[in-house]
Structure formats: C-alpha cells, structure tokens
A = this chain, B = another copy of it.
Amino acid sequence: MARAGLTTDLVVAAAADLADESGFDNVTLSALARRFGVKDASLYSHVRSLQDLRTRVALLAGGELIDRIAAAVAGRAGMDALVAFAGAYRAYALEHPGRYAATQIRIDQALIADSPAMRRTAEITYGMLRAYGLGEPDLTDAVRLLRSTFHGYCALESAGGFGADRDVQASWDKAVEALHLALTHWPRETKNDD
C-alpha cells in the first residue's frame, strides 16, 4: 500500500481547502482522512488534535490574509490605502470562506502573540492609519472600528445576512467611504476637534 506521504503542512493545507469547500465547521478529521485515503487515526501523527488542526488553519489563513492586504496596500496612502486594504480583506473573505471563518475562532492568546502574522497585521493597519494623523488612544479606537466593520460586514455577507436587493459591493464601497470620512473628521480625545 503506497503511502500518502503526509506532512503537517499538507494536512493543514488540505484542511483549509476542505474548509473553503464545505465550511469550517465541517472540517473533520474523518473527512480529511477520507480525502487522503487514510484512516482517521493516521492524522494524529501530524496534528495533535482537531483543536490543533483548527488552530493551524487559523494561523495559516491569518498569514495569507495579511499577505494579501500588505500587497494591496503597498505604496498607497490615505483613502487609497484604506480602499485597497478593505478590498483585499473582503476579497479574501469571499474567496476563502472556510479559511476566513477559521480566523474567527478563539485561539490561545499566547499563540497569537508570537505569531508573526499578528505583528504584521498590527504594523500594516497602524501604518495605513498614519495618514489620518491620529494619536493614542484614538488610533486604537480607529483600528477597532475598522476591524469591526470589515469583519462584521464579511461575516454577515457570507452568512447571507444581507437580504435587500441593493448591490453588496456598492454598499461596501459606501461603507469604506463613510469610514474614511469618519477617520478624516475623527472625534479626538482632546475637545478642540478639527
């Protein structure tokens, strides 16, 4: 019986593909084993547990996502950068629903902290906001607003939460524009705004 030649990376990649095809919740060790023509138990040589597998997929997806965003944002600033950031974010979420869903799971904070993807994400996000001239704590508030809106929009959209006729892309563009506006006229901590 020829071996499947599995490695941890292969298994995680296959799990990510499976997630995109069948939904992150349907990523099961059995399904994965079936896909490789292997027994369930064999996968335990490569991942510690289902939990471990999911965490690995989440980290993979997080890395891919920020790479896409970084590429899109490179060389841009201001609203240009914001639009590119938003576009790359949503495109990834729509192209890879399973991988994107993986990024939403609760992960051990320690694991996140030393993941390079996380650092990179913070760098790029704060870098993009530099053009708006915000200082702390407004900067953190703004980052939270952006993350929330992007994430919320993509989550609702891929859950079929937007029932109205209105074109979803058009609403997205408008939302990004509105966020740019909010960032431009940000209500600063110090009372003398503008």
Contacts and interface: CB of A to CB of B under 8 A. Distances in A.
Interface of A: 104-106, 109, 112, 136-138, 140-142, 144-145, 147-153, 155-156, 159-164, 166, 170-171, 174-175, 177-179, 181-183, 185-187
A193 B183 CA distance: 18
Contact of A153 (B105, B106, B136, B152): B152
Contacts of A162: 144
A174 to B, nearest CB: 4
A110 B179 CA distance: 33
Contact of A152 (B137, B140, B151, B164): B151
Given A106-B159, A163-B109, A174 B145 contact: yes
A148 B156 contact: yes
Given A140-B166, A155-B151, A175 B145 contact: yes
A119 B182 CA distance: 30
B171 A141 contact: yes
Contact of A182 (B104, B161, B163, B181): B181
A140 B164 contact: yes
16 contacts: A104-B159, A106-B159, A106-B160, A137-B166, A140-B166, A142-B178, A144-B156, A144-B162, A144-B171, A147-B156, A147-B161, A148-B149, A149-B152, A174-B187, A181-B181, A181-B187
Contact of A175 (B141, B150, B175, B177): B141
